[in-house]
């Protein structure tokens, strides 16, 4: 029997607000605390990659989650992990905070 692979949704950085609103989504910023000090997206939940496993229960499984990092690489890995961990609707913001013109 073939196993279906979840395809991760990719959200262009310029459309993150629309995606969150349309999906009643949560923004999960997986950068490190010093990076958060450079700016975060409004109402983002801040859980660094290194703390994610320990704080997995803090994430709502009934909401869509948009993963965000500096460039989109770490958040893509986190999105794949969440998807494989049973979260139903997970997306990655392509280009990360850099795509929005933010340093962090």
Supply the residues annotated as catalytic: 69
CB 27 within 8 A of CB 21: no
Encoded tokens for 20: 């969150």
| Residues paired with residue 92 on neighbouring β-strands, in sequence order | 10, 67
Sheet of 45-46, strands arranged across: 9-12, 90-94, 65-68, 26-29, 45-46
**Residue 19: which of 64, 68, 86, 77 has the closest Cα?**
64
CB atoms near residue 14 (< 10 Å): 12
């Amino acid at each position: 029997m073939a196993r279906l692979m979840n395809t991760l949704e990719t959200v262009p950085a310029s459309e993150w607000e629309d995606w969150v609103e349309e999906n009643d989504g949560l923004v999960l910023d997986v950068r490190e605390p010093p990076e958060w000090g450079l700016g975060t997206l409004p109402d983002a939940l801040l859980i660094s990659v290194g703390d994610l496993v320990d704080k997995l229960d803090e994430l709502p499984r009934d909401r869509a989650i948009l993963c965000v990092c500096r460039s989109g690489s770490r958040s893509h890995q986190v999105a794949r992990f969440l998807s494989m961990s049973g979260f139903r609707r997970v997306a990655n913001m392509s280009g990360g905070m850099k795509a929005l013109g933010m340093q962090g």
